[in-house]
Every structure is written in C-alpha cells, then in structure tokens.
Amino acid sequence: MNLVTIERHILEQQKLFPEASGELTDLLTDVAFAAKLVRREVVRAGLVDILGFAGTTNVQGEEVKKLDLFANEKIINAIGQHGRFAVMGSEENDGIIIPPKNETGNYALLFDPLDGSSNIDVNVSVGTIFSIYKLKGDDPGKASISDCLQRGSEQVAAGYVIYGSSVVMVYTTGNGVHGFTYDPTIGEFLLSHENIVTPKTGKYYSINEGSYAQFNEGTKKYLDYIKEEDPATGRPYSTRYIGSLVADFHRNLLTGGVFVYPPTTTHTNGKLRLMYEANPLAFICEQAGGRATDGRNRILDLQPTALHQRTPLYIGSEDDVIVAEEFEQGVR
C-alpha cells in the first residue's frame, strides 16, 4: 500500500504551482502539528482534569470549557513560535493575536480551537476549524485587524480537524478537498479521502428544531416541506443533528445533505461566526462542489466588519441549499 502523509501530499500539491514559495506548505504542516497536540488531550480529557467548565466566559458570552482554553493555548503556542503567521485571530480571544516572532510571516490565521466543545463531556465529536489569508500589505510587522477582515473568497487555505472515533483532517488550498485520517501507531495523518466531491443532493437535513418557535415563516415552511412524502424529490429527508457544526458538516460533506442555522428571533443576524466557522467551511464546501450562503448571499462574498461577526448559514449539497434558500427568500 502506498501511504501518503499529509506533509507529502501538501508538498505534491505545491508542485502544481511552480511559482509557490513553500510558505503555505509550512503553514499547513504547522496546523497539522497543532492538531496532533489537541488530539492527544481530547482523547484523554477525562483523565487529566480538563473536562468541565473553566469558570469564565469568552468574548461571545459563552461559558468556556477547560479544553477550549487548552486547545486555544496549544494552537497559539505551537503555531505562533515559528513566525510564519504575522497575525492570528481566535474565537476565544476578543482581539487579534500578534505572535512574538511575527516579523517574517506573510499570512493571517483565524481559527476556532474547539468547535462543539459543549459536547466534549458526553464524548460527542468536536473539532478545530482554521482559515488562512495572505496579508494585504508587504510588512508583517504592520499586520493588523484589517488583514483578518478579508472576504472569504480571499482565503488561500482552510480546513478542519474532527476528533471522533477517528481523527480526520480535511483541507483545501483551492485545488480540491482532501481528507487525512490520523494513525496513532505512527503519529501521522494519512491520505484517506482524496478529491472529496459532495453529492448534488443528499438525504439528510441538519437543523436545531428545538428553536422552531423562533424561526421565521420561510424556515418553518421549509421544515414542513422537507418532511413531506414525495419519492420523486427524495422526500422526506432524515434528520441528523449532532449540535457540533464540524461533525454535522463533515457527515453531510461526505454523504450529501444540508446544514441550516437560520436567523431566529433571539439571533436575528444568525449565531455562527463568519470568520471562524462559516468562511472556512464555505471554502471547503464550494471546492467540493457544494454551496454556502446566508440564505440570500454567497458566504464567501460577505465583507466582514468585525472579528466575531455572526451570520446565518445554509451549507451543503448544492441543490438542497438552493431549495432552503428559496423558502428563506419567500420564493416558495
């Protein structure tokens, strides 16, 4: 068997672009290393007293889990020390992070250190989501928040790591989507899902129906529609909702389906983070042949105005997302 490590695969991808400097290769290798550190603690979290709440809240006003803090710290330390990123942004930090050795880095990193962490105490899959941008200026020493507040279409790489029954890292650099499964016996991510293509339609829908009373009429009509019996359109769909975005997205990416987090009466602008969740997953989804919008506009075209900006999210198989959008827009 020809085993391909993530480092080898990234290098081979680099060869497709002769003008590439190799910097992005080093950046993705750094992210893979940080993921290994987080994975090591996630799998033994209950044994080292890092389960449960830390007694603080993050910038979102949410209770912070101990493992959130650990993952955030490990990623910042593991990646920041190499000087390849001039600026970073984390869902757990209010403002930008300037690494101590930022004079040589030409990129910005945005990341959610542990998506779905509210599920960690009950052994449900969680994940790390990341996004990489090229700096807008030529001087890394002058990197600022503007380098982070770029449209999703400006991403040069994005990916996620899902910590479940196995640990899988999925990434794109704009040339397809590739997945790697971690082999703990050799300590490497090995190519397991090459050139992922998501189906045009699926059979699953993922939405928190516990918030039904807070949905607008378009979303309510969509839910009624998706449950109706109609073999010609593959309905009814089956509900699959874990409550961990990265886990729900990963399943739908591979099997087909749609994930919907619409605006509600309590979160009129949506709840998911544009920079840390929606943009990177939208980049991956589109590269795999899927679609991602806020119900009206392409996610990757949205101009961010704040690091922790929120957005509705409709993401997954192209045809399924279009149907959900039509209900949101009142076309149906």
DSSP-derived pairing of the beta strands 238-239 and 155-163: unpaired
Q: What is the predicted pLDDT for the residue at 258?
A: 98
Q: What is the predicted pLDDT for the residue at 329?
A: 95
Q: Is residue 271 a known part of a binding site? A: yes
Q: Is residue 316 a known part of a binding site? A: no
DSSP class per residue in 40-62 = HHHTTGGGTT--SEEEEE-TTSP
Q: Is residue 94 a known part of a binding site? A: no
Q: What is the predicted pLDDT for the residue at 123?
A: 76
For tokens 């990757």, what's the residue?
300
Q: Do the Cβ atoms of 308 and 59 come closer than 8 Å?
A: yes
For tokens 């449960």, what's the residue?
52
Q: Is residue 277 a known part of a binding site? A: yes
Q: What is the predicted pLDDT for the residue at 44?
A: 72
Q: What is the predicted pLDDT for the residue at 50?
A: 55
For tokens 């990177």, what's the residue?
280
**CA separation for the pair 71, 94 (Å, rounded):** 16
The number of helix segments (H) and strand segments (E) in the chain equals: 8, 16
Q: Do the Cβ atoms of 29 and 173 come closer than 8 Å?
A: no
Q: What is the predicted pLDDT for the residue at 63?
A: 61
Q: Is residue 74 a known part of a binding site? A: no
Task: List, in order of start, the domains of the chain with CATH numbers.
Answer: 6-193 (3.30.540.10), 204-329 (3.40.190.80)
Q: Is residue 114 a known part of a binding site? A: yes
Query: What stretches of the chain adopt beta strand conformation (E)?
Result: 53-57, 63-65, 85-90, 107-115, 126-134, 155-163, 167-172, 177-183, 188-193, 204-206, 238-239, 258-261, 272-273, 291-293, 310-311, 313-316
The low-confidence residues of the chain, meaning pLDDT below 70, are: 1, 18-21, 45-65, 101-103
Q: Is residue 328 a known part of a binding site? A: no
Q: What is the predicted pLDDT for the residue at 84?
A: 84
pTM of the predicted model as reported, rounded to 2 decimal places: 0.93
**CA separation for the pair 237, 298 (Å, rounded):** 24
Q: What is the predicted pLDDT for the residue at 59?
A: 65
Q: Is residue 228 a known part of a binding site? A: no
Q: Is residue 117 a known part of a binding site? A: yes
**CA separation for the pair 221, 177 (Å, rounded):** 33
